[in-house]
Amino acid sequence: VQILLKLWRNGFSLDDGELRSYSDPTNAQFLESVKRGEIPVELQRIVHGGQVNLDMEDHQEQEYVKPRLRFKAFSGEGQKLGSLTPEIVSTPSSPEEEEKSILNAPVLIDDSMPATKIQIRLADGSRLIQRFNQTHRIKDIRDFIIQSRPAFAATDFVLVTTFPNKELTDESLTLQEADILNTVILQQLK
C-alpha cells in the first residue's frame, strides 16, 4: 500500500486526508512510530500484514489547506436489487473483449442445462467473462483462468467473492452450491 504523509505547520495529513493535530495523543503516537521506523498500528490494520510504502513530504513552513476533491466518475460494478441471484449490470468494455475471453479457453457448455455468466477480475487488472453451467465447479473457474492466462499456471492464487468478500476454498462445490451465479469473482495472488 502506498501512503503519503504530509507534515504541516499545524499538523499532518495522510493521502490528502483531513488535518490531524500534533497535540492529539493518538496522532503523536502515530508519528512516534514513524520516527522509530515502525509501521503505525493504524496502518497495520489497513494493510493486514502487507507491505507499506510510506512517503513523506515536508510542508512545515505552510499552513494546511484542504485539497480540492477531484471529481471521479463511478467506475465500479452494479447489481440489480430485488432478484434472488444478482445480475451483473455493467457490460464488458467491448463485445470483442467478451468474445476474446470465450475463444481463448473454451469451456464445454451443456445447452440443455441452466447456465450462468461469471466475470473474473484477474490480479493483473484484466478481466474475463465466461459462460458456465451451474453444475460446473469452482475448480473449473481456476482451470479456465490458467487456460486463458498461462502465466498464472505457476502462480499461487485464490478466488474470492465480492460483497461480502469470501474466499472460495472448497473448489469441489458447484457454482450453484457456492451461490456465485451471475457474479464477479476476484483472483488474488498469495
* CATH code, 177: 3.10.20.90
pLDDT of residue 164: 76
Residue 61 lies in a domain: no
Give residue 84's pLDDT: 54
- Looking up residue 10, the CATH number of its domain turns out to be 3.30.420.210
Closest to 120 (Cα-Cα) out of 35, 52, 184: 184
End position of a domain, from candidates 56, 78, 101: 56
130 part of a folded domain: yes
pLDDT at 107 (0 to 100): 84
Count: domains in the chain: 2
Q: Is the pTM of this model over 0.85?
A: no
Q: Which domain holds residue 39?
A: 1-56
Query: Is 122 inside any structural domain?
Result: yes
Instruction: Specify if 49 maps to a domain.
Output: yes
Residue among 140, 128, 139 nearest 103 (CA): 128
Tens of each residue's pLDDT in the chain, 190 residues: 788 999 999 999 998 889 999 999 999 999 999 899 888 888 888 777 778 888 899 999 999 888 776 666 666 676 666 545 544 554 455 555 544 444 455 788 998 999 999 999 998 888 899 999 999 999 999 999 988 888 888 888 999 998 778 889 899 999 999 989 999 999 988 8
Last residue of a domain, one of 39, 56, 73: 56
Q: What is the reported pLDDT for 136?
A: 93
Which pLDDT score, from 0 to 100, does residue 94 have?
A: 53
pLDDT of residue 20: 93
In a 3-state reduction of DSSP, which class is residue 29?
helix
| 83 is a domain residue | no
- Per the domain annotation, does 33 fall within a domain? yes
For residue 164, whether the previous peptide bond is cis, meaning omega lies within 30 degrees of 0, is yes
- H-type helices in the chain, by residue range? 25-35, 41-47, 95-104, 138-148
Look at residue 24 in the predicted model and tell me its pLDDT.
93
Task: Examine residue 156 and state whether it is found in any structural domain, yes or no.
Answer: yes
Report yes or no on 65 lying in a domain: no
pLDDT attached to residue 95: 54
d(C-alpha 16, C-alpha 19), whole Å: 9
The C-alpha atoms of residue 131 and residue 107 are separated, in whole angstroms, by: 8
